[in-house]
Structure 1
Amino acid sequence: MESLLSGKFRRYHHLSLIQHLLIPSIVLLNIRDLFLVIAGFFQAFTRLLLWRPDVVFTKGGFVCLPVGWAAWLLRIPLVIHDSDVYPGLTNRMLAKKATAIATGAPLENYPYPMEKSHYVGIPIDASFRVLSDKERAAVKKELGCDPDRPLVSVIGGGLGSKVLNDATVRSSNQILTSASLLLISGKQQYSQLVSQVPQDSAFVLKEFVSNGVADILGASDIVVSRAGATALLELAALRKPTILVPSSRLTWQVKHAATYAAAGAVVCLDETRFDDEADTSYVDAILTLLASPKRRNELGASIAKLATPHAASDMADIIYSVARK
């Protein structure tokens, strides 16, 4: 493994073009990073010239831009993969130069040329599988929950989500009348929440889960989550009834959630409504699903249709076929 220099183009949806040009910290960092991209391009060009690989595969993100440009200039076949339904700047810039493009969502969500685009999904860990009733009960007992009660798990991504944390704590007493409740809060707010959550054995608060998250989600009867691309396909593999609360600041999460909601695969909530203390959309959505096993089964069946269990092998086939040409 080797590293190379690269830089990112900072742009923020809540700022206008004029604001981007007037804020020194943004302008100076973007100018600096332009030179880093140029330096990274020469590094990548030199290494690819020496290595002469049969194909170059990039996964998106700003670090891939100088590598993709160098591969194109050296006439080395380029394969790119785009996980998000909202294509990033790097993949948009490399798409015309790519020999093949793989996507994490159906092709109608992308502006890429259809003749070289392939829907493969996103490879996920094999631990994300449907658990048997016995396995689910064992995981619930290990968490300290009643194996005979439904389990609602709330996870806000790797860093946690203050919006989900606060909404869950506010609604916890109502939810606990019908189910056990697991909240993975993230490190930033954990110490604060310890003193705020109900002192009830049916409420499990965890700062972070490094191992066994697939089992925890697999044992859950309802999962409340953000709308990251990989997380959604993990939930699809688990056939899990899901409530999505996409971050309103992240365009790709909003689009992911809309795509899954349009397929009838999730319940989607608007986090901006949670600011109103009178709003009950969060707890209502959870209690409605808890009261309807039939609806949970319908959501589980619908989200399972979006799973891509062969994503890794399909991606490998594309890379291999391009390399052989």
Structure 2
Amino acid sequence: MTDRPQPGKRITIRDVAKSAGVSYQTVSRALNDKGEIDTSTKQRVLDTARRLGYRPSRFARGLVRQDSTSVGLVIPNLLNPYFTEVAAGALAAARRRDWHVVVYDTAEDEEQELSTLAVLGSQVDAVVGYFSQPGPVIDQYTSGMPVVQIGRTDVAGRFGEIRVDGEQGVHAAIAHLAASGRRRIGMLDHDHHGEASVRYSWYADAMREHGLPTFVTPAAQSIEGGQRAMAAMLEKHPDLDAIFTYNDVIAIGAMFQARLLGRRVPADFAVIGFDGLAIGTMVEPPLSSVRIDTRRVGAIAIDQVGQLLDGVKPEVATVRATFLLRGSA
């Protein structure tokens, strides 16, 4: 239908009213099941709302300001401080707009993610987050709703997109290790269904640049996961003199374990993480890392929601990581 608002634009009561040929007060009465409207008109309004993909926000209706915008922020794991920092950036940006953010934790579970997506449509006006589901599935659950995906490249055409590019940062980290005489540099990678991460590909490319061999062990994304993976790695390759990890949480566990096994950090064993989190300053020695501006990621996501609500498809945003040298390398 030619009267349907363009994809990505927030569909309003006025859009439904225009398409159904009634006043927006009539649409409000129909959607709220008021009695002052005849049955055929009510059905026409409901059919039109369904066709256009209009989704009233339960949260917004319950707030003092009826025009307030609510955003659902979907993250895989609140216990991972990376996502907490991104959420803090999004919350700060939303406050500046007087918007409301509702945080959903999917616990890195695909079924929970689907369940969250099923709920989102009737609760918020836009969705931001980290998803494992393919684009068509997300599109099906969020038809017409503004969506911003973070950290993916296979993003559906109507969605906003934020990419994290750590290639140069990882290359700088490996170059630092090589320049300081490290030659046996391993990686603890995120174990995701047996597939190597893109961060592993950056590490492997950087190692090839310096003519160095690669060593990889999978690790769960936790301090305990880092400890277990570091123990396994050093048992298999006791001559390693440095480790690069998928994220800072794994790196902290790796550093604890390396020291338990008698390695001096950084004197004879260097540790570099990825994310550049504030928690890295709370360990001794402070953790070197490939740093992402996490607050900026959250702020960009909210800015892209604003563009989508205005009917503008935002350009792909890329946040580039840099090497942050602290005491562990």
The question of a shared fold, defined as TM-score above 0.5 by the shorter chain, is answered with: no
TM-score by length of 1: 0.35
Choose between structure 1 and 2: higher strand proportion: 2
**Greater fraction helix:** 1
